């Protein structure tokens, strides 16, 4: 009996390796099929992402190119604003000088300064650089910088009553904010006297 059982066991081992080999081959083929499909999907995804990134980069470069064309002289324009300020200071200084007050040379000099200033302002306007109008406007923190408050019973609080330094815009960008003084409600005399009494 032992001999009969041994051949059976041999046959079983002979059958099992063939069956296991075929199942292993099927699993490998399935893995290869899914892995190639996965690879294709992965590559398609990478291509789509790369194309989207290239398009975004193209748009970004286009925007930067437009900005460089539109605002290329932005820092130069900001520096040139000092020229206008210096013309105003020079004119004011000459007008306040007692030695040359009411002389023909002063009048001629002031006329020439005005001509040069007007030319400079016209050049600014050609390049879309405009002065910010501030007086009697409400304070806008995007355009104005409040330097002081002035009591004014005739104006609504927060209204600009004095311009210390002119502000300028270049198209839709702020070159320099206007330095301004804004109105505030005057304190009542009674409140002032009460505060003084408490102190």
- pTM of this prediction? 0.60
Predicted confidence at residue 179, as pLDDT, reads 93
- In 72-188, alpha helices (H): 74-96, 104-126
Comparing 41-45, 115-119, 188-192, the range with the smallest average pLDDT is: 188-192
CATH topology of domain 131-199: Nucleotide Exchange Factor Grpe; Chain A, domain 2 (2.30.22)
pLDDT digits (tens, 9 = 90+) for 9-32: 444 444 555 555 556 655 555 555
Cα 95 vs. chain centroid, distance in angstroms? 41
In the chain, where the domains are located: 1-71, 75-127, 131-199
Say whether 105 sits in a helix, a strand or coil.
helix
């Amino acid at each position: 009996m032992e001999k009969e059982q041994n051949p059976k066991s041999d046959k079983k081992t002979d059958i099992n390796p063939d069956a296991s080999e075929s199942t292993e081959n099927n699993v490998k083929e399935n893995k290869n099929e899914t892995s190639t499909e996965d690879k294709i999907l992965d590559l398609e995804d990478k291509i789509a992402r790369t194309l989207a990134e290239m398009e975004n980069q193209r748009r970004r470069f286009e925007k930067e190119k437009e900005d460089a064309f539109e605002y290329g002289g932005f820092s130069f324009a900001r520096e040139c604003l000092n020229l206008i300020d210096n013309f105003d200071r020079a004119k004011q200084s000459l007008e306040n000088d007692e030695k040359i007050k009411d002389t023909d040379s002063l009048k001629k000099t002031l006329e020439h300064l005005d001509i040069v200033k007007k030319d400079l302002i016209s050049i600014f306007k050609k390049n879309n650089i405009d002065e910010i109008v501030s007086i009697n406007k409400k304070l806008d923190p995007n355009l104005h910088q409040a330097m002081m408050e002035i009591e004014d019973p005739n104006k609504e609080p927060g209204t600009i009553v004095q311009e210390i330094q002119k502000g300028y815009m270049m198209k839709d960008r702020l070159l320099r904010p206007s330095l301004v003084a804004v109105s505030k409600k005057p304190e009542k005399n009674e409140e002032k006297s009460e505060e003084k009494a408490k102190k």
